[in-house]
Structure 1
Amino acid sequence: MAEIDNAPPGIPEPALGGARRVAALVLLLMAGILAGTQLGKIAPLIPWYQAEAGLSLVSVGWLTSTLGLFVALAALPAAFVIDRVGLYRSYVFSAAALALGSIVLALAQSPVAVIGARLIEAVGYLVIVIAIPALLAVLAPDRLRAPALAIWGGFVPLGYAVADFMSAAMLLAFTPQAFLLASAGAFAVLALAGALLAAGLGPAGDAVASNWARETGSNQLSSSFSWPVIAFALAFGAYVVLSIGFFTFLPAFVAEGPAVMLSAGVIALLVPIGNFLAGALLRGRDVRFVAALIAGGFLVSAVSAVPFFSASTPLTATLAAAVFAIAGGVIAAAVFAGVPYIVPAGGSAAIVIGLIAQSGGLGTLAGPPFAGLVIERYGWPGFGWALAVLSLCGLACIAPLLFARRKPAWQR
């Protein structure tokens, strides 16, 4: 794994769970959630961007998708660079780029300036979504590693929730520029605080983090790929396709389908419950338990998708939607929390996370058009069956790991 480039060489910090280390982990997670907010902040401002900045609806669409597009196209190459440059330096660079782009976006007046600012944000976002979970994996002591990475698995829905709440609270009384500046400022403050607290921290003193911090170099590129890593990446890609498709068209289904007792936004906010549930369950577990949890999440998704889109009663539809959302949160959290168990000996967690992120980014691009095609041809019940099939495909990807050895990959 890329070394913690600001740590004293060969001297891991002895304190595994000191207050400063825990505070650094919390602030890195909060900065990551606010990075997710930068994804969701455009949607409430679409009419304003059309009226004030002169952007077409197509341009606004690109403005919304630019950050995810960068991850889909360049996450794995970015992970190679992060592995060479170092996690801490990469985090500082990415946080600065994302903060700068966010501030420029808030102040931009012309379409060219708006798009340019969003591109700066995209560069920072691309790097930070790999650097933060890799830092969490190295800095967190064993007892906190799985919960921290599990919470990270929900940074996008949590970030969207923050954007929704901030926009609802601010846009009635303040200008859109003030909302954008508040979003940028909150991220910048948390990212800076996380950087200051993480500066000088060595890897956690347990064997996992110490093993990852010992080596860095080109040999890690080939060492980081193994069939468990590929299985996790494919499973995460399948999850993203079904999850993005589900939540993209959920508002339309709620509007025209049977009465559902929860709004689409509230259903989306149930995803972090699955993240926290997975974090609590994964402490001190092994790779087979992680695989079983992911497989269970896919199985529950398959079982709940069909009743939701075929339900005739509000209670059935609402319960099925809630179960589907929570199961998705469990899958995403378990994938990231399982990274310590699948990084091969001499491998790089940054590269493994980059591959998982790349798979998820491609799923983000494929999910909505796939869902739209299925709904157009087969209707809502057909979409439910398609989600069930996708869930079973994800289950098939992770199933071989159910029979894996209990020993983590880094020990082999």
Structure 2
Amino acid sequence: MRQDPTPAAAGPRRIAALVFLLLAGILAGTQLGKIAPLVAWYRAEAGFSLVMVGWLTSTLGLFVALAALPAAFAIDRAGLYRSYLVSAIALGAGGVGLALFDGPLAALAARLVEAFGYLILVIAIPALLATLAPERLKAPALAIWGGFVPLGYAVADFLSAAMLPAHEPQSFLLVSVVSFIVLAALAAWLARGLEPIADTTRQVADTPGAARMASSFSASVALSALAFGIYVILSIGFFTFLPSFVAEGPAVALSAGMIALLVPLGNVLAGVLLKGGDARFAALVVMAGFLASAASAVPFFGAADPIVATVSAMVFAVAGGVVAAAIFASVPFIVPPGGSSAIVIGLIAQSGGLGTLAGPPLAGYIIGQFGWAGFGWTLAAFSLLGFACMAPLLARRRRLA
């Protein structure tokens, strides 16, 4: 990207670019969650089979699980801004096609185009945030990015509730993707030409791609990616079966949807805490989030008191938001010298994608074999495992200091 000719005047524009990149990311999350409110319609009115509906629902996440790291390599070679443009166009085109096509095969083809765009976008946007944000805003911007999926699902839920009673499902799909297109286009216009503030790839622009990829891997990166995968396993399992537990268990004061909406509060809290922080403090925040998850999982699934269950669920949701946000916010701190933020984010996304595939079946098995109380203890164990993953980072940073 070319250097902005008027860097002093680019301050407000840079901040606006960051805001619209985040908004475009949230609306990308909406494309992930927009199928859920339409499952009954796809089956009853559009004549889709359960298998086809399942593919429409899971294709975007499946692409991330299978190809996030290879996509990160490609993004690193092609450039962040160019990759963002390609991915936004693909996601927008696929979304429009999904809204217009009513045949199963055509709809699936459109969803595959969406999945290609989504795969690249969820790596390119946080990498752009990491390179374009001023130093004091890097951690908060990436922390907010850590909640783009639950926020996107919330937008999908609210938009479907507002539109579906009076409008056709195709109109809901079209509005959701057009909203993304508008925000993504504004973000592209604002970010065009902005000079990266601290792009670790610029100092090694002439380094061969293979060497830069190798430079992006380190113990800190691997442990952070592993911790994120563990978080996704426990988080996706929790929220997948939360509606069933709320229906069967004690009288929890909040609905499953309201509990899920507490996750972004954890993202915001992490962003506030990490403003001006460093790698060691980010590791401490992640560890604190995992400890809070461990402490709240057992009483939520094992307590008979509705108040204890409700408070525990709130703590677990907020703590999860803190963990996810703090891991993403730590990316500028853990990218090795000569490494690429896109590749590091790709590795984290790859780990999270695999956790998305493993979390629900593992949770279902535990609940079937050991009941809800056993599931609570399992979540606590995974939380402590995530805590243990981050401990070496803390010790390592202390030795370096």
Q: Give the TM-score band, short-chain normalised.
A: over 0.9
Does 2:349 align with 1:354? no
Residue type of the alignment partner of 2:175: A
2:204 is the counterpart of 1:215: yes
Q: Deviations over 1:278-308 (max 9, x none)?
A: 0000011111110010011001100100000
2:88 maps to which residue?
95
- In structure 2, the partner of 1:35 is 28
Q: Does 1:167 align with 2:156?
A: no
- Residues 85-117 of structure 1 deviation map (CA, whole Å, 9 limit, x = unaligned): 000000000000000000000001100011101
Q: Distance in 1 between matches of 2:281 and 2:394?
A: 8
1:85 to 58, 74, 78: 78
The alpha-carbon deviation at position 212 of structure 1 amounts to 3.5
Other-structure match for 2:97:
104
Sort the Cα spacing of 1:50 and 1:210 in 2 relative to 1 into closer, same or farther, 3 A. closer
Seen in structure 2, the aligned counterparts of structure 1 residues 347 and 13 have a Cα distance that, compared at 3 Å, is farther
**Cα distance between partner residues in 1 of 2:9 and 2:395:** 31
Deviates more, 1:263-272 or 1:399-408: 399-408
SS in 2 for 1:91: helix
CA displacement at 1:16 relative to structure 2: 9.2
Name 1:3's counterpart in structure 2: none
AA aligned opposite 2:279: V
Q: In 2, distance between residues paired with 1:210 and 1:367?
A: 34
Q: Give aligned-pair identity as a percent.
A: 68
Out of 139, 145, 153, the position equivalent to 1:152 is: 145
Q: Name the aligned partner's letter for residue 109 of structure 1.
A: D
Task: Tell me if structure 2 keeps the 8 A contact 1:12–1:202.
Answer: no
3-state SS in 1 of match to 2:166: coil
Distance 1:12 1:215, change over 3 A: farther
Matches within 5 A, 1:13-412: 14-15=7-8, 18-204=11-197, 209-216=198-205, 217-218=208-209, 219-405=211-397
Q: What is the CA distance between 1:52 and its match in structure 2?
A: 2.6
After superposition, the C-alpha distances for 1:59-97 in whole angstroms (9 at most, x for unaligned) are 111110100000000000000000000000000000000
Query: Which amino acid is 2:49 matched to?
Result: S
Deviation at 1:14, TM superposition (A): 3.8
Distance across 1 between alignment mates of 2:8 and 2:28 = 29
| CA shift in 2, pair 1:17/1:332, >3 Å | farther
Deviation at 1:213, TM superposition (A): 2.5
Tell me how far 1:210 sits from its aligned partner: 4.6
CA distance in 1, matches of 2:398, 2:278: 6
SS of the residue 1:137 aligns to: helix
Q: Which residue of 1 aligns with 2:2?
A: 7
Task: Give the count of matched residue pairs.
Answer: 398
Q: Deviations over 1:358-378 (max 9, x none)?
A: 000000000000000000000
How many angstroms apart in 2 are the aligned matches of 1:391 and 1:27?
33
Deviation of the 1:17 alpha carbon = 6.8
Give the Cα–Cα distance (whole angstroms) in 2 for the partners of residues 97 and 7 of structure 1.
Answer: 24
1:125-179 per-residue CA deviation (whole Å, 9 max, x = no partner) reads 0000000000000000001111000000000000000000000000001110000
Alpha carbons 2:200, 2:340 under 8 Å: kept: no
* Aligned-partner residue type, residue 204 of structure 2: E
1:214-256: CA deviation from partner (whole Å, max 9, x where unpaired): 3244121000000000000000000000000000000000001
Secondary structure (helix, strand or coil) at the match of 1:404 reads helix
CA 1:70–1:13: 2 relative to 1, 3 Å: farther
Alpha-carbon deviation of 1:15? Answer: 3.9
Q: Which runs of 4+ in 1 moved over 2 A?
A: 11-17, 210-217, 404-408
TM-score norm. by structure 2 comes to 0.97
CA RMSD of aligned residues (A): 1.6
Query: Contact 2:69 / 2:347 at 8 angstroms: preserved in 1?
Result: yes
How many angstroms apart in 1 are the aligned matches of 2:363 and 2:227? 18
* Aligned residue type for 1:22: I
Please state how far the C-alpha of 1:404 moved relative to its aligned partner.
Answer: 2.6
| Cα separation, partners in 2 of 1:373 and 1:23, compared to 1, 3 Å | same
| Local SS of the residue matching 1:232 | helix
Structure 1 residue 407 displacement after superposition? 10
Do the aligned partners of residues 200 and 268 (structure 1) sit closer, same or farther apart at CA in structure 2, a change above 3 Å counting?
A: same
C-alpha separation between the residues in 1 aligned to 2:312 and 2:359?
Answer: 20
C-alpha distance in 2 between matches for 1:125 and 1:13: 33
Q: CA deviation at 1:12?
A: 9.2
**CA apart distance, 1:315:** 0.4
Rounded Cα–Cα distance in structure 2 between residues aligned with 1:284 and 1:14: 22
